[in-house]
Amino acid sequence: MALLEVRGLTKQFGGLAAVSDLDFDVNKGEILGIIGPNGAGKSTIFNMISGTFQPTTGSVVFQGENITRMPAYKIAGRGITRLYQGNVLFPNSTVVQNVLIGLHLHTNLSIFGFLFGTPAAQRRDKELYTEAMEILKYVGLENSANELAKSQPHGKQRLLGLAIAIASKPKLLLLDEPVTGMHAEEVTNMVNMIRLLRDTKGITCIVVEHNMKVVMNLCDRIVTLCYGKKICDASPKETAENPAVCEAYLGVDNAA
């Protein structure tokens, strides 16, 4: 059984079908790419998987459970986390505080414990701080822990967003344009980090990305969309050689 199963997924806005009768699977431990021209429906798919949008028709099954019409917070609680294209941070908090906020969302302590500083809460705070620093070390931000999030360059802010996502302990990570706005060294660093998440933490990833070099080098398999419909589901090599993909996305000249 696949980790994620998408069947007949359709989303209509008025008379426009942003996504139409879409089927695909994501296997555990896989890095799946979703590509397509602007307006192809890529972000709409992420919105439906994460519960931001409800589909018009179709289903999303995660770990054998139908999550199609679950609210977003319940889907997140099942282990699906989204890294947005924009840097969604607490800009006036420190780097480590941002990660701590992510970790606190998953603690079992009561609000009373945190408000009144019970011994259990104090012990848990120390444990969470240690865990937050371990996550920052994992993504290479430990030396920036006490700096404000808003003072970090764009590449480090993207890594901080990834650190916050890791704090939520995801089983499936939805990465929306993870390398947008990055220079070459930052792109390489992010690509290596996504691979590391899969190889060392077992986190399955779906990547929506316009940088074709990144997609071809990073992903195990690629789903290509055009006007909301799937036109290819194949390996990177097969995708690059597919005439329909070349015409719709890569450009006809690339088929030569």
- The pLDDT tens digits for 85-98 are 877 888 999 999 99
Lowest average pLDDT, out of 95-109, 194-208, 229-243, goes to 95-109
Higher pLDDT, 213 or 254: 213
Answer CATH for 1-79+170-256 from 3.40.718.10, 3.40.50.2000, 3.90.190.20, 3.40.50.300: 3.40.50.300
pLDDT on residue 117? 60
- Residue 113 confidence class, pLDDT cut points 50, 70, 90: low
Q: Which residue, chain included where needed, has tokens 């012990």?
A: 123
- Residue 115 confidence class, pLDDT cut points 50, 70, 90: very low
CA–CA gap between residue 240 and residue 58 (Å, rounded): 29
Q: Are 162 and 75 in contact (CB under 8 A)?
A: no
Give the torsion through C-alpha atoms of 242, 245, 247, 248, to 10 deg.
Answer: 170
Give the number of other CB atoms < 10 A from CB of residue 106: 12
- Residue 253 confidence class, pLDDT cut points 50, 70, 90: very low
Strands 57-62 and 4-13: antiparallel
CB-based contacts of 249, cutoff 8 Å, min separation 6: 35, 36, 37, 224, 226
Give start-end residues of each CATH 3.40.50.300 domain in the chain.
1-79+170-256
12-36: buried (b, 16+ CB within 10 Å) or exposed (e) per residue? eeeeebbbbebebbbeeebbbbbbb
- Residue 207 confidence class, pLDDT cut points 50, 70, 90: very high
DSSP helix/strand/coil, 63: coil
Q: Are 156 and 144 in contact (CB under 8 A)?
A: yes
What proportions of the chain, in percent to the nearest 5, are helix, strand and coil?
A: 45, 25, 30
Residue 187 has pLDDT above 80, yes or no: yes
Q: Are 16 and 206 in contact (CB under 8 A)?
A: no
CB-based contacts of 104, cutoff 8 Å, min separation 6: 114, 128
Higher pLDDT, 6 or 102: 6
Strands 65-66 and 57-62: antiparallel
pTM of the model: 0.89
Mean pLDDT, rounded, of the chain: 90
- Secondary structure (DSSP) of 5-23: EEEEEEEEETTEEEEEEEE
Distances (CA, A) of 64 to 10, 60, 81, 141, 233: 20, 10, 18, 36, 22
CA–CA gap between residue 216 and residue 181 (Å, rounded): 18
Residue 256 has pLDDT above 50, yes or no: no
